[in-house]
Amino acid sequence: MQPTNRSRRILLPVKLWFVYTTLFIALFLNYIPTGHLPAVPDFVALVLAFWCVREPVKIGIGTGFMFGLLTDVGVGAALGQHAFAYVLLAYAANELSRRVLWFTPVEQALHVLPLLFMSQVLMVLVRLLAGAEFPGWWMFFGSFVAAVLWIPLHYVLLLPQYQPVERDENRPI
């Protein structure tokens, strides 16, 4: 468990089932057939980056690889395309976690933006090398939208950890 350095609040330890549930919800959001709509963020990359930053001991490269493969299959991409990008993303997020947590959510989002962008660039490079058509620049807009989503996500995904261990009617939290 990382201390939330800003809030000076000691969080409960995260529950692994909650982490995986959120990852599967993100996977569900990725599966929604939006076609070639521009600026749809990659939800799995975002949630994965979040947990890799928050819980570098528990969530890392292996999880990234697994969810990358699941995304590939569901989206109809080349097998290993998302896995490749997510593995690098998870590694970079794990390495950054000690630094990122000292910042406010907005500054954290600015730290995560290059990572998300990099994962998209990697995917484009891999597919262009394999001879696919270039999908257009609007595609990169998705990672900016994802970075904006980091700020609400930061509160939503930490909600279960804000709860007190023992419920006490008389305690003022």
Partner 1 sequence: MVGHSPPPFFKRGPAPLAKLVFFLVLSLALLVSDLNLRYLDAFRTGLSVLAYPLQMAAATPADFVRNASNYFASLVRLQIENKELKNRQLQGGERLLRLDQLEQENRRLRALLEARERQPVKSVVAEIMYTAKDPFSRKVILDKGTQAGIEAGQAVVDDLGVIGQITRVFPMQSELTLLTDRDQAIPVMIVRNGLRAVLFGAGNGLMELRYLAANADVQAGDKVVTSGLDGVFLAGLPVATVAKVERDQARTFAGIPCLPAAGVEQYGQVLVLGHREALPSRPPEPEVINKGKGRRGRAPRD
Rule CB under 8 A: is residue 167 a binding residue for partner 1?
A: no
Residue of 65, 117, 141, 144 that binds partner 1 (CB under 8 A): 65
91 token code pair: 């590694």
Cα separation of 11 and 113, whole Å?
25
3-state secondary structure of 4: strand
Sequence-distant (6+) residues with CB within 8 A of 129 are: none
Binding mask 129-158 for partner 1 (x = CB under 8 A): -xxxx-xx--x-------------------
Residue of 8, 36, 167, 171 that binds partner 1 (CB under 8 A): 36
Supply the minimum distance, in Å, between the C-beta of residue 148 and partner 1. Answer: 20
Sequence-distant (6+) residues with CB within 8 A of 85 are: 45, 68, 119, 120, 122, 123, 126
Residue the block writes with tokens 């597919």: 127
Query: What is the per-residue DSSP string for 123-168?
Result: HHHHHHHTTPPP--GGGGHHHHHHHHHHHHHHHHTTHHHHS-SS--
Rule CB under 8 A: is residue 3 a binding residue for partner 1?
A: no
Binding mask 93-132 for partner 1 (x = CB under 8 A): -xx----------------------------x-xx--xxx
Cα separation of 40 and 133, whole Å?
19
Rule CB under 8 A: is residue 165 a binding residue for partner 1?
A: yes
Rule CB under 8 A: is residue 173 a binding residue for partner 1?
A: no
Residue of 3, 62, 152, 160 that binds partner 1 (CB under 8 A): 62
For partner 1, the binding residues (CB under 8 A) are: 1, 12-13, 24, 27-36, 57, 60-62, 64-65, 68-70, 73-81, 83-84, 87-88, 91, 94-95, 124, 126-127, 130-133, 135-136, 139, 165
